[in-house]
């Protein structure tokens, strides 16, 4: 029972922090304004880990690699702790353990990034139906616009309905399935 509680707490805290770090990374990458309640919360909740990381890891081509590296390290640490609590084979060669943790964490970051995009697409659809002028609507529009724009060019409107969010959601689900299979294959190669 205590093991399960410990695993739950580690998973919840680490996943929440990783999602915040990924949100910060994607906001900067996609040039989304931080001048909204979500952006301000993301900055306040992640500054303590991002600022020291920036002293070590400089940005590259406009990408905030320090934030991405912090997310990778937090997720790798979470995987290590979850494996240690579960009694997993962490006594193996240190190089192999590090490789498994880094590859597993990288796949998790990709999966979490896809989840962020899925959530943003759903929010764009909800806001378009409920209140297109809601204060948070521009935030989700800015996140999804680079992904929806090419689809909108290819897909005609059906009456007043834009099917590009639906197509993007299907493509994201396919990407999640492929990612799960790639992770399983990579895990078999590394382990």
3-class DSSP string for 120-173:
HHHHHHHHHHHCCCCCCHHHHHHHHHHHHHHHHHHCCCECCECCHHHHHHHHHH
pLDDT in tens, 144-153: 999 999 999 9
Quick one: pLDDT at residue 190? 58
Quick one: pLDDT at residue 88? 65
Tokens 């990407």, residue located: 175
Burial 96-112 (b: 16+ CB within 10 A, else e): ebeebbbbbbbbbbbeb
Quick one: pLDDT at residue 188? 65
Quick one: pLDDT at residue 82? 92
Quick one: pLDDT at residue 100? 87
Below-70 pLDDT ranges, the chain: 88-92, 188-191
Give me the helices (H) in 37-93, please: 37-56, 65-86
Q: Any bridge partners for residue 158, and if so which?
A: 161
Quick one: pLDDT at residue 137? 92
Q: Taking the model in full, what pTM does it have?
A: 0.91
CA–CA gap between residue 52 and residue 39 (Å, rounded)? 20
Quick one: pLDDT at residue 31? 92
Domain boundaries, the chain: 2-190
Counting other chains too, the contacts that 6-10 makes at CB distance below 8 Å and 24 or more residues apart are 6/85, 7/82, 7/85, 7/86, 10/78, 10/81, 10/82, 10/85
Taking a C-beta distance cutoff of 8 angstroms, is the pair 97, 191 a contact? no
In this structure, what token pair is assigned to residue 102?
Answer: 């880094």
Quick one: pLDDT at residue 90? 59
Quick one: pLDDT at residue 19? 98
In this structure, what token pair is assigned to residue 161?
Answer: 């309905």
């Amino acid at each position: 029972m205590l093991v399960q509680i410990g695993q739950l707490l580690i998973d919840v805290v680490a996943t929440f922090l990783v999602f915040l770090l990924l949100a910060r990374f994607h906001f900067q990458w996609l040039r989304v304004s931080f001048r909204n309640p979500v952006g301000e919360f993301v900055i306040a909740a992640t500054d303590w880990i991002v600022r020291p990381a920036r002293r070590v890891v400089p940005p590259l081509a406009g990408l905030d690699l320090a934030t991405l590296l912090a997310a990778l390290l937090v997720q790798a640490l979470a995987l290590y702790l979850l494996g240690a609590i579960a009694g997993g084979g962490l006594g193996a060669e240190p190089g192999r353990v590090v490789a498994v943790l880094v590859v597993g964490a990288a796949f998790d970051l990709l999966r979490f990034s896809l989840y962020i995009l899925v959530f943003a697409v759903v929010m764009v659809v909800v806001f378009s139906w409920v209140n297109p002028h809601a204060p948070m609507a521009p935030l989700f529009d800015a996140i999804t616009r680079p992904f929806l724009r090419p689809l909108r060019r290819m897909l005609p409107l059906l009456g007043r309905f834009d099917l590009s969010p639906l197509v993007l959601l299907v493509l994201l689900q396919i990407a999640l399935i492929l990612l799960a299979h790639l992770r399983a294959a990579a895990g078999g190669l590394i382990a």
